[in-house]
Amino acid sequence: MTDLIVAGAGMAGLAAAARARELGAHVVVFERSPEIGGSMRLSSGVIWRYASFEEFRAQCPDGDAALQRAVHERLDQDLDWLVSLGAVVSEGSTGNPLTVGRRFDTDALVAVLARGLDIRLTTPVTSVPDAPSILATGGFQANSWLVREWISAEPLLLRSNDGSRGDGLRMGLEAGGVYSAGMDQFYGRAMPAVESLDRSQWVETAQLYAKHAVAIENGSGHRFSDEVDWAELRVVQWIARQKGARAWFVVPPDALDTPGRYGTVGEQIDRARRLGARVERRDQGVAVEVAAAITQTLGGLRIDPDGRVLRGDGSAVEGLWAAGGDVGGVATGGYMSNLAAALVIGKRAAESALG
């Protein structure tokens, strides 16, 4: 007899299933793709929270405060839980004074969470099962129709696994759930403006230096006029709505030696040039053509802090939980660690489902 069904084998699904297994449940995980790990395996592996809850609220002011507090207060112990399972910490800090967290080896993390689980690959869940279920299919960034409907009509690069097609969102809505806030928001990066990038290049080739640019323009005279946030997320969302989802970063010569996590600004630009992106000399400095890439949708199903899928009146849909990219309301209005929310809410959803 199956005690719990989990749809999706990314961070949220694997964390939920591993916790359910730990509690003695018989859990079955269904995964659309031929491999496990989802977007977690393709990420930098940094799982973090803001150093203070006040900073979290300031950075993500439109999010659900109860969900945010749950993630903020539970993350540290859940990171310890990963370590207790055998996950490998490659860095003990984030290197950012705003945040607290750890970097994990993602392949090792996937292996540790999946150990002993019954995982059915290339087997998507297409309707809500009769058994208690957790939806964790990773959001809808790989569904071009939904991305056009909610985020941008322009063609965005996909910087994510291609199995996150909105299955969990669809099933949750069919069961009576409702949309969260922030359906038009996403986490992504400005990438070299080329036709495609190999997944091995997604992390280190990101063009993460908009805060050092003297101009961010769309090629038709329209400039980004908002303040560049520390994660440069508002810039990427702006680029996504420009023609072709492309823009130019114009960087002054004195910023080229500025260091970042993946080398200096000049080294990041050189990577873009080698990949075939257009790089030009202008009076103001070096201009680099970049394209918006979507990694994770930030809107999804509305849930409570236990991961229960909610109806419009606030009541819970019986027997149905959701976590990870299938939910919204955590990072609304800003940016926070998607992996952190997936870990905390996925683990808590399993505990709630097994009651």
Count CA atoms within 13 Å of residue 227 on its CB side. Answer: 3
Question: What is the structure's pLDDT at 149?
Answer: 97
How many domains does the chain fold into? 2
Q: Do 228 and 329 reside in the same domain of the chain? A: no
Please tell me whether residues 28 and 176 are part of one structural domain: yes
Closest C-alpha among 237, 250, 246, 156 to residue 210: 250
**CATH code at 109?**
3.50.50.60
**Is residue 86 located within the same domain as residue 151?**
yes
Same domain? 160 vs 35: yes
Note whether 278 and 169 are same-domain residues: no
**Does 95 share its domain with 181?**
yes
316 with 260, same domain: the answer is: no
pLDDT score at 200: 84
Q: Are 33 and 99 within one domain?
A: yes
Asked whether the beta carbons of 333 and 63 are under 8 A apart, the reply is: yes
Residue among 42, 18, 67, 202 nearest 138 (CA): 42
246, 270, 294 - which closes a domain: 294
Which pLDDT score is estimated for 198?
84
| CA–CA dist 226, 235 (Å, integer) | 8
Quick check: 158 and 195 in contact, CB under 8 A? no
Do the Cβ atoms of 293 and 156 come closer than 8 Å?
yes
CA angle 232, 234, 238 (to 5 degrees): 120
- Mark which of 258, 279, 294 sits at the end of a domain: 294
> What is the predicted pLDDT for the residue at 287?
97
pLDDT score at 221: 83
CB 28 within 8 Å of CB 120: yes
Positive or negative torsion for Cα 60, 66, 68, 69: positive
What residues make up the domain containing 197?
A: 188-294
> Is residue 122 located within the same domain as residue 208?
no
Same domain (yes/no): 159, 235: no
Residue 210, both tokens: 């908009």
Angle at 231 between CA 230 and CA 234, to 5 degrees: 100
Please tell me the distance from the alpha carbon of residue 51 to that of residue 320, in angstroms, as a whole number. 32
Are residues 200 and 316 part of one domain? no
* Backbone φ/ψ region at 275: left (φ over 0), alpha (ψ -120 to 50), beta: alpha
Are 316 and 329 found together in one domain?
yes
User: For position 348, what pLDDT does the model report?
Assistant: 98
Query: 294, 309, 336 — which closes off a domain?
Result: 294
d(C-alpha 85, C-alpha 79), whole Å: 10
Residues 287, 256: Cα–Cα separation, whole Å: 12
Phi, psi of 181 (to 5 degrees): -75, 165
Q: Which helix (H) or strand (E) holds 264?
A: strand 263-264
With a cut of 50, list the residues of the chain below it in pLDDT.
none
- Amino acid code (one letter) for 38: G
